[in-house]
Amino acid sequence: MKTLKVLLVLFGLIILLVVAAGSYVKFALPNVGDAPKISINATPERIENGKYLANHVTVCMDCHSSRDWTKFAGPMKAEGFGAGGEVFNQQMGFPGVYYAANLTPAALKNWTDGEIFRAVTSGVNKNGKALFPVMAAHRFGKMDRADIYDIIAYIRTLQPIEKNIPESKSDFPVNFIINTMPQKPAFEQKPSTADTIKYGAYLVNAAGCVDCHSKTDKGAVVKGTEFGGGMEFVQPGGTVTTPNITFDKATGIGSWSEQAFVSRFKLYADSSYHAPAVGKNEMNSPMPWMMYAGMKNTDLKAIYTYLRSLQPIINRVEKFKPAK
């Protein structure tokens, strides 16, 4: 009888600890601090750099606009620029259903610059609610503060569009774990363009290459697979798997010259290029080629140099499996 009482007490303590831990995670986190009190001076130079970053490097406007998935690489539709609504769900490997927010002034007019800054770099919204890291605060929080200021200055200039976005929802247990994901930023000074590898690394982080060109589990990159490809996108016509972009000659891009790498992007910047329609059971690409195509040649060359400096990964990828 005494042993039974001891077991019951221990069981009760375990339950109390679990409840306490769950309550802490659910109600005390995230804890990234208050939004900073900042007021961004939106100079023409700042807006111009923010426009370049948001459209061609960090490609914020890719997720936060509507894309036409009947055409190759889902070019952005003319309407709804910046108004959000793109969905990331379980079929794409995410542990819930997440909607890109409306970034236009119609939605952000009551947000301070500091609240936008905290959301972008720490991953919590105006009310302190955790954002799932498909909104890559973990990357943006490693950028230069000045670049983030420039992006904010730019999105303040977008055409206001009224659009109601559904609430994002995480599946269990991520609906608890999500509160542990926001982190305080660790800003880095933007490297000199003369230090090509470090500058390339900065751009690769900002562009989020690793997020897609790696194997993922519930939306998180699997350690040790970085840049080796393997993330799967389930589409109506079949499953697309991201390629290996390390410099392994047999399974990656080790045979690509710098010019071939740059030209692959610039193909989509040609004014004569029009995204072709994608037929049933044909491969489409989740890569926003038309946006990255606007990157400066020098920036693309820096990215190439950085990728070439990484340890090659042997991972042969079957890029497309048609739907049965």
Domain map (residue ranges) of the chain: 36-190, 191-324
Cβ neighbours of residue 95 closer than 8 Å, sequence gap 6 or more: 170, 171, 174, 218, 219
Q: Assess whether pLDDT exceeds 60 at residue 86.
A: yes
Which one is predicted more confidently, 93 or 157? Answer: 157
Give the C-alpha separation, 99 to 196, whole Å: 35
Q: Taking the CB of residue 21, how many other CB atoms lie within 10 A of it?
A: 11
Dihedral sign (CA 282, 285, 289, 290): positive
The H-or-E segment that residue 97 falls in is strand 96-99
Give the C-alpha separation, 266 to 274, whole Å: 13
Q: Are residues 84 and 100 in contact, defined by beta-carbon separation less than 8 angstroms?
A: yes
pLDDT tens string 218-237? 778 999 999 999 999 888 88
pLDDT tens string 271-306? 889 999 998 889 999 999 999 999 999 999 999 999
> Which three-class secondary structure string do you get for 12-71?
HHHHHHHHHHHHHHHHHCCCCCCCCCCCCCCCHHHHHHHHHHHHHCCCHHHHCCCECCCE
pLDDT tens string 53-62? 999 999 999 9
Strands, E assignment, 117-226: 169-170, 216-217, 220-221
In terms of C-beta density within 10 A (0-12 exposed, 13-18 middle, 19 or more buried), how is residue 271 classed? Answer: exposed
Confidence label for 217 from pLDDT (cuts 50, 70 and 90):
confident
What is the DSSP code string of 245-313? -S--TTTSSTT--HHHHHHHHHGGGSTT--PPB--TT-----S-HHHHTTS-HHHHHHHHHHHHHSPP-
Predicted local confidence at residue 18, as pLDDT:
45
The H-or-E segment that residue 171 falls in is none
Give the C-alpha separation, 64 to 61, whole Å: 5
- For the chain, give the number of residues: 324
Angle between helices 145-155 and 44-56 (to 10 degrees): 90
